[in-house]
Structures are given as structure tokens and as C-alpha cells.
Amino acid sequence: MPTLEPDRPPTEDGTAPVDLGSDPPELSQLGLDDDMLRLYRAALRTGATASGELAALSGLDPDRTERGLARLAADGFLTAFGAVAPRAALRTVVMRRMAELAQREAELRTVDAMVDGLADGLWPSDARLPVGDASLVVGTPEIARLTTHLVMSARHEVLVLDTPPYVQIGTRRSDVSSAHFSVGADDDVDQALARGVVSRRIVSQDGLDTPGRAEGILELGGAGMTVRVRATLPTKLLVVDRETALLPPSSSADATTTALVLRGGVLAHVLVPLFEALWDDAVPVVAPPGDAPHPDGALTAEERELLTMLAAGLKDEAVARHLDVHVATARRRITALLARLGASSRFQAGVQAARRGWLADS
């Protein structure tokens, strides 16, 4: 047997154990524990194959030696002829682990394709899940029915955080109107306004960029809803009479197909204060009467057309195409019109114009 430098005292029979050194933590990711590494190093350095000899070299008791050798053999680090070279053994284990992961991923993808069916088997998709003061509503039709019920039952107030995604619908407002949570939500708010219900809505800027959205909000503003715009909103939200709230269950959930209904303390202490804080930070798009200056003289036909496009939420490129001018020219005309109206945003200009009748046909 070759002479080895010990890293600890000799064993009882006088055999010096192998210098084991230290091992990188990555080896544990391949399933090599401390016992296996001691045995493998001893086999590599001495060429020993007998369990008794390797036990003495590694300093392990017979039981731990037998278990470690069995695992080394199963993983391809040892054969009856001795230790396998580390490069070949480690690469074999890595490839085997990668194959196992690929197989597991394929199995999980199969299960992922079956999730809807499996979930429905556990709980019907159109059923509500009560959780104290909360319940989960799944499915666009169910959310639509709940939204209509909440808004139509409002007695005093409807608060809305309005941001995509929307359900694309066709209503009396526009063939491409989009609802806050579900089909008909804007029409429901319109009817609530007619009953004297106070409604405040904060709209995100990207929400106004949705085709037809600005037009629908404009009409609701004309019907008496107070509207403000904010660059971004953290969530969609509907609060009715400060008693019931509807919002997505999480940031990753599809807000058009899943909604969480909340009542109680969370609503009063978290959601309503959240709305008020965002409201204070948002920009009004309907100026109080008398705040915005009237334009000097009557609007020209081109200005009226431009205001109509701004109210409808058209982007610069679309405005340019309608006016048959270069996009830079369209932007200059928009900037000049905003300055003339004393408006801080395009949408504000459109709302002010609608409230004052400037968009009416002459």
C-alpha cells in the first residue's frame, strides 16, 4: 500500500487515512455526500477496491462504508476494477441528471395542459370560494353578473381604478368599448349616475390608449362622473358604497376571468385609503366650471375635428392619417390647440370641449 500523508491521526490498526482535502459545494448537487467523496478520493489515490481497505483509508465505519460504496457504484463512480476517472464519471452523472430533469419537465407540461380539467374536478369553475370576508369569482360571465349587481345596487358611491386588461365588447357607446371588469360595466355606471350615485374614476394612461376607451370615459364624464388620469395604476378596483370591493386576486391573475370580492376591514382600512391616495396624486381631466379659458373666437372645422380625435383617444399617427398631414405637423397642431384651450393633456382638452359643447355639430 502506498504511503499517504494523513490529515488526521492513524486508525486503530495503524493505517493512515487519505488526505481528503476540501470539496466544492457543486459536487453535492450531483448527489455526492461527504461519505461518498471520502471513499471516492481514497479509491482514486490508492487504487483500492476492497471495502475493508477503503473503510480504513477513509476513516468510516463498515456500515457507512458499505452504503457509500453502493451509491458510488450505482452512480458510476466505482466499478469492480476500481475508481472511474473523475471527468468521465462526473460528466456521466451530469448528463443523467439533465435527462431526468427533461423527463420531469415533459411530465409537468403534460399536467399543465390538464390543469383546467383537474381544477374543475376539484371545484367548479363558476363557483365561489369563501375565505372569511373574501370570495373568489371565476369566469367572465360570472364576473359580469356580479359587476352589474354591485353597480346597480349602489346607493351612494362607486369608486373605480380603471386600467387594462379589458374585456372587448360591443355596447351602445361603441362597437369597441371596453369594460372595467366585465361586459356592460360602463352602462351600469351610467345608470347609477342617473340615479344620483356619485362616481369617481381614475384611469391609467395606457387605458386611454385602448381603442374606444377614451370616448366611453368622455361620455361618462359628460354624464357626471368625475375622472382623473394617472400614468400607472397598481391594480383594477371597483368599490361600491365602501362596503364591497372587486379586484384581481393577484398581480399575475387574468383580471378578465378571475376576481376577488372583499368586504370588511381590508376594504375600509386598505382599499379605500389606497383609492384616495391615488386620487390625490392623479390629474383631473374634467376642470371645474370656469377654470379653463374659453378659446378666442369660434372653433374652426379643423379644430373641431382635431378635438374629436383627441377625445376619441387617437394616437399621433392616426391623427396625421385622418388629417392627411405628416405626423410632426399633426403634433404641432395638437400642441397649439392644447395651449389655446389651457389644457394640460389631450384627454383633458377633449373632455373640456365636450362639456362645453364644442364638439357638437354646427
> What is the pTM (predicted TM-score) of this model?
0.47
Residue 52, exposed/middle/buried by CB under 10 A (0-12, 13-18, 19+)? Answer: exposed
In this prediction, residue 159 carries a pLDDT of 92
In angstroms, rounded to a whole number, what is the distance separating the alpha carbons of residues 165 and 163? Answer: 7
**Local confidence pLDDT in tens for the 362 residues of the chain:** 443 443 444 444 444 444 445 567 777 777 888 888 888 888 888 888 888 888 888 888 989 989 988 988 888 888 888 888 889 888 888 888 888 888 888 888 888 777 767 766 665 655 554 545 778 888 888 888 888 888 888 888 999 898 887 765 444 444 333 444 543 456 677 788 888 888 898 888 777 666 666 666 667 776 778 888 787 888 889 999 888 888 887 777 777 778 888 887 777 788 889 999 998 887 766 443 444 444 445 567 777 778 767 765 667 887 888 788 888 888 888 888 887 777 777 767 766 665 566 654 43
Contacts of 209 (CB under 8 A, 6+ apart): 313, 315
Structural domains of the chain ordered from first start: 25-108 (1.10.10.10), 132-284 (3.30.870.10), 301-355 (1.10.10.10)
Q: Report the pLDDT value the prediction gives residue 14, as an integer from 0 to 100.
A: 46
The closest alpha carbon to 307, from 361, 252, 229, 270, belongs to 361
* CA distances from residue 127 to 120, 121, 303 in whole angstroms, order as listed: 10, 12, 52
